[in-house]
Amino acid sequence: MRILITGAAGFLGSHLCQMLINKGHHVVGMDNFITGDPQNLAHLAGNEHFSFIRHDVSNFIFVPGKLDAVMHFASPASPNINSPYGYPNLPIQTMKAGALGTHNALGLAKANNAKFLLASTSEIYGDPLEHPQKETYWGHVDPTGPRSMYDEAKRFAEALTTSYNQYHGVDTRIVRIFNTFGPRMRLDDGRVIPNFIQQALRGEPLTIYGEGTQTRSFCYVSDLIEGIYRLLMSDEHTPVNIGNPVEMSMLELAESINDTTNNSAGIIFKENMRLGNDPERRRPDITKAKKILDWEPKINLKEALQLTIPYFKEKLSKL
């Protein structure tokens, strides 16, 4: 297939490009580099199965030639309020990527009679009152809160994608991505695993905000990308959770990272300074993915950390 990936220079987009090329597809990458990193695609330069278009998806999208699939991954995704790449500091761009970008990408898929896959997020569930979260859960979201530019952009994108499927007959899929990590994440991503790994590699105590009881479920990037590919190749039009159902507290995660990096500096607790409305618990119910896609994650946390830490070590050595 010939596949367009918007947000191709991002963490997930770049891994998706590589996996699709490995499977024999031709990939057209698209990014405007607001948050994407050109270095994430540098290894694909000169690859005959890869081409690239620099473009902002909130503007009309034109790609010469026939496309068989459009995968819309373009959006700021980091919650880091201290980074210029964090969506709290790019609120309008985030909303435009989710609204106008999704509309333009869907229009391109419709014009090509191509498959369309939307990268949605577990953030559409907000701070969930249901645990674990099934795809049938409607969510508990503040539409004007500090995370609303990201959460509501994705919720709108899901509604628009569903409308294009039902009204125009576009062959759509929606993946709800839960916490994922691995190489090519930004050092200033702001999420907990990059933060902890950097502190550990510097020999610093790991900082936990609050009491460390808040939980997450962490999926390694290759597992996630495989699940997304299986969804693309399926006939499922309704949302599907892709993530790791193994839940752990921030305290357990910190102890695991200190153990893996042999960091003896320990842990310190600070007053909660996280972005407001941060969910206390997050864990996917992946029953649907198991049944429809025959998918579940294979790589455990320890293995995933061992695959990720060398990347951060190299990035830190270049600072």
* Domain boundaries along the sequence of the chain: 2-317
What pLDDT was estimated at residue 279? 77
The label of the residue with tokens 């200033």 reads 188
Quote the pLDDT of residue 225.
98
Active site residue 150: yes
Residue at token pair 């909130």: 58
Tally of CB atoms within 10 A around 90: 21
Q: Which CATH architecture has domain 2-317?
A: 3-Layer(aba) Sandwich (3.40)
Question: In the chain, which residue ranges form alpha helices assigned H by DSSP?
Answer: 11-22, 91-98, 100-112, 148-163, 192-201, 221-232, 250-261, 287-293, 301-317
Q: Supply the pLDDT for residue 258.
A: 97
Set 85, 125, 150, 164: catalytic member:
150
Cα distance between residue 245 and residue 282, in whole Å? 9
At residue 272, the pLDDT reads: 66
Determine the pLDDT at residue 280: 80
**CB count in 10 Å sphere of residue 64:** 8
pLDDT at 168: 98
Q: Give me the pLDDT at residue 17, please.
A: 98
Phi, psi of 178 (to 5 degrees): -95, 175
Bridge pairing between strands 26-31 and 2-6 = parallel
Q: What is the pLDDT of residue 190?
A: 87
Distance CA 178, CA 239 (A): 13
Low-confidence ranges of the chain (pLDDT < 70): 272-277
Residue 294 Ramachandran class (φ > 0 left, ψ -120 to 50 alpha, else beta): left
The alpha carbon dihedral of 290, 192, 256, 253 has a sign of: negative
Residue 273 confidence (pLDDT): 62
User: Which pLDDT score, from 0 to 100, does residue 209 have?
Assistant: 86
